[in-house]
Structure 1
Amino acid sequence: MPVPDSDVAALETIALDKRYRRVHALSECSFSLPSGRIAALAGPNGAGKSTLMDLIAGIRRPTGGEIRVLGTSSRSFSGIHPDVSYLAQRKPLYRSFTVEEMLKAGHKLNDRWDAEYARRLVEQAGLTPKAKVSTLSGGQRSRLAIAMALGRRPAVLLLDEPLAELDPFARREVSHALLDEVRNQGTTVLMSSHIVADLQGMCDYLLCLVSGRLVLDGPVEELLGAHRVRREPDLDGAAGSTVSPVVEAAPASPETEWRAPTLEELVLSRMAPPPHGTYVRAVSS
C-alpha cells in the first residue's frame, strides 16, 4: 500500500450530485476527508449513504460534480480506484466456498493482493480454512469479508453498514478487530450506519446526510465542542428527551442545564423536529 500524502485529502467530493429520474438521491455534496481518519457516515435510511459509497467506489456515475481519491479525479480512471476497497452491506462472499477458497479467489480477482496479510487476518479471527462460508456465524462472515477487503492493502476503506445484522457481542468483537487493524495500518475509513450507537467511540470524523444533503461535516471532537444541549423541565416537571437544532438559545430559566451533546444527540438534532424540553445549539466563536 503506498503511503498517502498527509497534505492530500484521502477523499474529496465537489458539488456531487446524483439523480434518478425525478428523485434527487444526492445534492451538492462537498467534503474533504483528511488521510488517516476513521469517518462515520451517519443518517437515516434513504439519506443517500449507500449512493455516496457507490459513487466513490465507481459502481455508479454521478449526475454532476466530481470525486477525488488521494488527489486523483475519478474522471481519470474507470471503476474502483486501485487504492480503495469497498465492502458493501451485502457482503460479497460465495456461500459454497470455503474460507481458503475465498482467499484464493481474492488473489485471482485482484491485481494487488497481500495473501500473507489476508491469511493472518483470517487466522486472528479463528476461522478454519476448510469451513464453508455457509456454516460461518454472522460475526465470522463479517471478519472474513473485512479480511478480503483489507487484503487489497487499500489506502481508503469504504464500509457500508458493516455491523448490520450482528448481535451485540459480535458487533463489539468485529468493531474492535477492525479498528485495531486500520489504526495499525493507517488506513482511512469511511463507515456508514443509520445506527449512531455503532459509530460512537469508533470514529473521529463525522459526515451526516439527511435527504441527500450533507448537514454535518468535521472532526467529531470539534463538532461536539461547538454545540451545547439545553435541558429544561416541561410544564409537568419532566425533562424533554429528544434534541433539535437551535441557532440561538431561547431565554434560559433557573432550571436550565447546559452540557455537551453526545454524538447521537448531535446527529439526531439534524433529523428530528424541535420538541419542548431539550435543544442543541451551535456555540458562537
Structure 2
Amino acid sequence: MRSLILAFVVSAGGAIAAPDTSLRPVHRDGAGLKLEQSGSIAPRPRDAAGQAAVEGGRGLAQSLRPELRPRKFRRIARAQERLRKKGAVCGDVDIQGVVVGRVPGSKRGCGVTDAVRIRAVSGIGLSQHSVMDCGTAKALKTWIDETAKPAFSRKGGGLKNIRVAAHYACRTRNNRPGGRISEHGKGRAIDISGLQMRDGTLITVRSGWNDPATSKAMRRLHKGACGPFGTVLGPESDRFHRDHFHFDTARYRSGPYCR
C-alpha cells in the first residue's frame, strides 16, 4: 500500500514540473510586458511616474497615438463650414454670393434668367460683387483655380483679390450705338483690369502686360482662360481691351475665340 502511494506522488510531481507548452504568443520586449520563468506573461513593473520600465533604456516613453484636436478648434471649423455652405451659390461651396434670380433687361436681348451675385471664388475676393449666370461663375472658378492662383503663387504672398472692371450691364458690344447686345447684357461676361496680391501689390493689365517682371504671368492668365471661356480678349486684341481682359462664355462651333 505504501509503495502505491509513493508512486502516485512521484507521478503527480512530474506532471507539475512539466514545461509549459502553451502556443500563446509572447509579447515583444519593450511593449510593457515581460515573460516570467513559468512562461506566463505578467505586466512590467512601473516607475514612480506610472510609466512602464524599459530594459536597457530602450522602448517608447509615450504613446504615438495622435492627440485629438481640442473641442474649441473643432467647433470653429464646423462653424466656418456652415458659413461657407450658407453663402454658397451654383451648388458649389467655393462660389460665394447670393442668388438674384431673374434680371430683366431694359433692351431687347438683355437679361438673365437665373442670376447670382458673386463676392468671392475659391477664396479670392472680387473688387465689386458681380452679377452673372452660374455657367460663367463656374468658368471663373476653373480659371482662378487652374491659372490665376498658380500664376501668382510666388508673387507678393499669392493672389488675394481680382479687380473687376465690368460684369452684367445691358449694353451693346463696346458700347457702340446700334450694335449687337454684348455678352455682358446676358450675364455671361466679366472684365478684369487687375489683380491684387496679399502684400497689397496691385498688378494691372495695362501696366503688367509688357512689364518684364509680370508679362509672362499676364500672358499665362490670357492663355489659361481660353477653354473655360468661349471668348477671351486682351490688350493685343483691339483698342477697346488695352487695359483689361474680357472673358465670356459664348460658344462657337469652331471653338474658343481668343485674341
TM range (shorter): under 0.3
TM-score, with length taken from structure 2: 0.22
TM-score, with length taken from structure 1: 0.21
